[in-house]
Amino acid sequence: MFKLESVSPTYLWPVKFSFAGENGRPVSVAFRVRFRRLDQGRIDDIMEILRSGSVTTPDITDDDLIEETVVGWEDVTADGQPLDYDDINHRAMVLGVPGCRPAIVKSWFESLTGAPEKNSARPPATGRAAAAEGVNARQ
């Protein structure tokens, strides 16, 4: 039975990515992002914007999408302590850690289908808001 009241306004979803470590070896990280649950009409609008935009003049960027959908995170620490989600920490992580921004965007698209992407022929996200869906946009 589906209970409409069981649909929360936000939800947690895993984000995983790697970046180059100090020694040149990949560092794999995982955390969970709390996404705002958008209604289907807004999701459709975003998808249409991405389909009709161009790479050089996008109507929505990764940053736009993250700003609209991300409301928090879990499993993010600094100096061994949980790192609160706020504008300063958000910007430090999303802009300061290579690969974080496209990983969050990719995870949001995965959350729409209900399952993280496993072994797929599709290439990894490129940092474009539409990378997970294969449509045009830019950072």
What pTM was estimated for this model as a whole?
0.77
What are 36's strand-pairing partners?
10
Cβ atoms within 10 Å, residue 128: 25
Report the distance separating Cα 23 and Cα 62, nearest Å.
29
Amino acid occupying residue 118: K
Report the distance separating Cα 102 and Cα 134, nearest Å.
13
pLDDT at 57: 60
pLDDT at 127: 47
13 pLDDT above the threshold of 50: yes
First to last CA, the chain: 41
pLDDT at 138: 39
Residue 20 is given by DSSP the state E
Q: List % helix, strand, coil for the chain (3-state, nearest 5).
A: 35, 25, 40
pLDDT at 111: 96
Task: Determine the distance from the C-alpha atom of residue 32 to the mean position of all C-alpha atoms in its chain, rounded to a whole number.
Answer: 10
123 pLDDT above the threshold of 60: no
What's the pLDDT tens digit per position in 52-94? Answer: 876 566 688 899 999 999 999 999 999 999 999 999 999 998 8
Which residue do the tokens 């995965």 mark? 110
Tell me the percentage of the chain whose pLDDT exceeds 90.
Answer: 57
Tell me the percentage of the chain whose pLDDT exceeds 70.
Answer: 78
